[in-house]
Structure 1
Amino acid sequence: MTKQFSISGQHYLFDVQTFAQVVLSAGGDAYHYALYDRTTQGVIDDVVSGLSDVGVIMQTSLTADALNDTLAAAGLEFHKLTESAPRVALPTAHPLVNAKSLTLDQLSDYPYIYFSQGPNSPEHLYEEALAGVPREKSIACTDRASLSELIVALNGYTVTSGILVGISDGSLLTTVPLDADVKLYLGYVTQAGKTLSDLEAAFVEKLAKNLERYARF
């Protein structure tokens, strides 16, 4: 019997690594798995339609209520696995890289690189904490590789959980704590009342362990 399993997630790498670990562990002679990088609305749409079994997203303490309302209206629910603190991702050669912490005011001269959520998207769908703060210089992109390359090439920055950079970008980027009164909630989305299959439960269990391992405060 062919195994099937699909995940949709925002632009983080911890779900990619977790997905790979589960596939390797599950093995099998025949399977069809899928992993989709999406906007937040794309994750919601995939889980609602059944294209994906589980969605991986981040909320912030400022946007959680609005995002949970959106999820509930779509028949979905968010399951928090861990909390983290926002960090500024910078090139290793950036002038501010040795700061103990940074404010958004200190970063105002540098371009802010972020993941586009589409035109007129509300703040609670953005993947970055404090996405609604006005910036004089900002650049939208749609994939992880572009975001990392633009940060390095333009001496820019983004706001992240720190988990993205800690796993994926090696010596190219580093992170500095962001001085802001906001928390990040990392977890997964399912259809309301859904019972997880064995593969889905294995993914969630591994995801929780990976998030706890890499979460930074």
Structure 2
Amino acid sequence: MTLQQLKYIIEIARCGSINEAAKKLFITQPSLSSAVKELEQRLGIEIFVRSSKGVSLSSEGVEFLSYARQVVEQTELLEQRYINKKPTKRLCSISTQHYAFAVNAFVNLIKNNNSDEYEFTLRETRTYDIITDVASFKSEIGIIYLNDFNRKVLSRILKQHHLKFTPLFEASPHVFMSKKHPLAKQNSVTLSQLEDFPYLSFEQGDYNSFYFSEEILSTVYHKKNIYVSDRATLFNLLIGLNGYTISTGILNSDLNGSDIVAIPLEVKEKILVGWITTANAYLNQTAQSYIIELENLIRQYGFQLVK
């Protein structure tokens, strides 16, 4: 087994295609396929499952990739320490539901990054896409929430994709609305008070199930529904239409401006926000730093971390 072979495995997992990985590694596709088969034969395991759509990691491959990443990262640290080799480009991808605090943590991550070169990706996307992003190693970390309604279904899907959920904090539901909204001065609001106002939520595409909704109480009937795909549009519509949406209550004026307020919603539901990653995965240093930034922000907003 060679260090180069481990790097090959990591790049193929990242690309989801041997052909695409070969292009990025500047070698031929047959040579890369041969190197992978040789390693699989030597180890006596199948690392990748081949199909017409590309390759995906087997259950043994997921475990192997975790060890491979550790070996490669530790080797790079040794090279930087003892032979002054230039650090490799920092890579990190995050997929998240539409949370301002996730973006804020990403901003802090980049500000505190001291690497000369990096390539970071932040995807605010649909719930099911977050799960598949992490399962396919397109992203190291995904940010989602669980509650009593969706927990059983999402937990089963996470298990099917060999993912684990690590809780961050628990929040009481809040309503986001314009500070000029007729109910904006209330200490709290009820669903009955909101029923005549437009309800905004994030559309979930082909997986537009109640269980994948980013907003709790997804089965509650609303007379006026508006579905959007991005956070900026949602906030503009909150202001322009006196609409509302339901979320954690965390707002950041630096990123979202001061035109939106969060009002407690009078319900018994709770929102458990956390991050997902592959089971037994080894998070690289940058991904670990992102988790630290998230935890620091959660504390700053007055929430207690769930341990």
Preserved contact between residue 115 and residue 140 of structure 1 (Cα < 8 Å): yes
Supply the distance in 2 between the matched residues of 1:63 and 1:167 (Cα, whole angstroms).
Answer: 32
TM-score normalised to structure 1 length: 0.93
Secondary structure in structure 2 of the residue aligned to 1:83 = strand
Larger CA deviation: 20-29 vs 32-41: 20-29
Q: Partner amino acid for 2:296?
A: K
> What residue in structure 1 maps to residue 144 of structure 2?
57
Secondary structure in structure 2 of the residue aligned to 1:44 = helix
> What residue in structure 1 maps to residue 158 of structure 2?
71
> What residue in structure 1 maps to residue 276 of structure 2?
189
Q: 1:120 to 1:35 in 2, by over 3 A?
A: closer
Q: 1:26 to 1:168 in 2, by over 3 A?
A: closer
Q: How does 1:24-63 map to 2 (within 5 A)?
A: 24-63=111-150
Deviation at 1:33, TM superposition (A): 1.4
Deviation at 1:164, TM superposition (A): 3.9
> What residue in structure 2 maps to residue 4 of structure 1?
91
Instruction: Find 2:267's aligned residue among 180, 190, 193.
Output: 180
Supply the distance in 1 between the matched residues of 2:147 and 2:120 (Cα, whole angstroms).
Answer: 30
Secondary structure in structure 1 of the residue aligned to 2:246 = strand
Q: 1:165 to 1:27 in 2, by over 3 A?
A: closer
Name whichever structure is richer in helix by fraction.
2
Q: Partner amino acid for 1:52?
A: S
Deviation at 1:18, TM superposition (A): 0.8
- Structure ID, larger Rg: 2
Preserved contact between residue 90 and residue 174 of structure 1 (Cα < 8 Å): yes
Q: Does 1:98 align with 2:185?
A: yes
Q: Which runs of 4+ in 1 moved over 3 A?
A: 164-168
Instruction: Find 2:241's aligned residue among 147, 150, 154.
Output: 154
Deviation at 1:139, TM superposition (A): 0.2
Secondary structure in structure 2 of the residue aligned to 1:163 = coil
Q: 1:56 to 1:86 in 2, by over 3 A?
A: same
Deviation at 1:204, TM superposition (A): 0.8
Corresponding residue pairs, total: 217
Preserved contact between residue 128 and residue 207 of structure 2 (Cα < 8 Å): no
Supply the distance in 1 between the matched residues of 2:101 and 2:143 (Cα, whole angstroms).
Answer: 10
Q: State the Cα deviation string for residues 106-152 of structure 1 (Å, max 9, x = none).
A: 10000001111124522221111112211110000000110000111
RMSD: 1.7
Q: State the Cα deviation string for residues 148-196 of structure 1 (Å, max 9, x = none).
A: 0011111110001111466643321111100111101111010111122
TM-score normalised to structure 2 length: 0.67
Supply the distance in 1 between the matched residues of 2:253 and 2:216 (Cα, whole angstroms).
Answer: 17
For structure 2, the residue ranges without an aligned partner over 5 or more in a row are 1-87
